[in-house]
Chains A and B, each alone.
Chain A
Amino acid sequence: DTGVSQNPRHKITKRGQNVTFRCDPISEHNRLYWYRQTLGQGPEFLTYFQNEAQLEKSRLLSDRFSAERPKGSFSTLEIQRTEQGDSAMYLCASSPNGAVSEKLFFGSGTQLSVL
């Protein structure tokens, strides 16, 4: 297993277009998280899943954002009608069971640029 995989690595889109990112967590990791990171900032929590259930969503996750994890394995994050303010690095992380003491394994992220 090579860790958390995210695709694509980079995405350039025009304002108003929809984009979708994919995250493949480490096998058998039940928890999957999405974070967003802008330049000069730390990662900001967006949402997380326990298996296929989406358990928490941040206030940052507007109604243009939707995340799914249909079979409890990979996850997708879709942004509809993108805005320039959506430009950021979108990070995915996974952990075995979500215990507070568990470490998160992060992917390398998808860099989104909205023109």
Chain B
Amino acid sequence: GEDVEQSLFLSVREGDSSVINCTYTDSSSTYLYWYKQEPGAGLQLLTYIFSNMDMKQDQRLTVLLNKKDKHLSLRIADTQTGDSAIYFCAESRQAGTALIFGKGTTLSVSS
């Protein structure tokens, strides 16, 4: 079946790098996404990666994809207190358009 797994909690200090990991099971996933959710707000797309890519960098964000292991990671460089939020990994399949989300990783950044 389809499933997206994430670690539930990550705590880092301001200025450190954060690495949030995700594994997925559907090998037909075409795009993989990282969304951010702040308290009381809707989800905000941070970045996405196409399944034929290994890495994508966007300012402080680096996405790594290991398609063989079905493992996706999001690295946030120079983490700031404003990065504290829940981060969701999501996948979409070729045949459908619904996103399948993980349960989210709560990132806590302390100063």
Contacts and interface: CB of A to CB of B under 8 A. Distances in A.
Given A42-B104, A101-B48, A109 B97 contact: no
A101 B31 contact: yes
B40 A45 contact: no
A4 B41 CA distance: 12
A31 B97 contact: yes
| Interface size class, chain A | 20 to 34
Contacts of A91: 42-43
B4 to A, nearest CB: 7
A100 B42 contact: no
A58 interface: yes
Interface of A: 4, 31, 33, 40-45, 48, 56, 58, 91, 93, 98, 100-101, 103-109
25 contacts: A4-B42, A31-B97, A40-B104, A41-B104, A42-B101, A42-B104, A43-B43, A43-B88, A43-B101, A44-B101, A56-B96, A56-B97, A91-B43, A98-B97, A100-B31, A100-B94, A101-B31, A103-B33, A103-B45, A104-B43, A104-B99, A106-B35, A106-B43, A107-B42, A108-B41
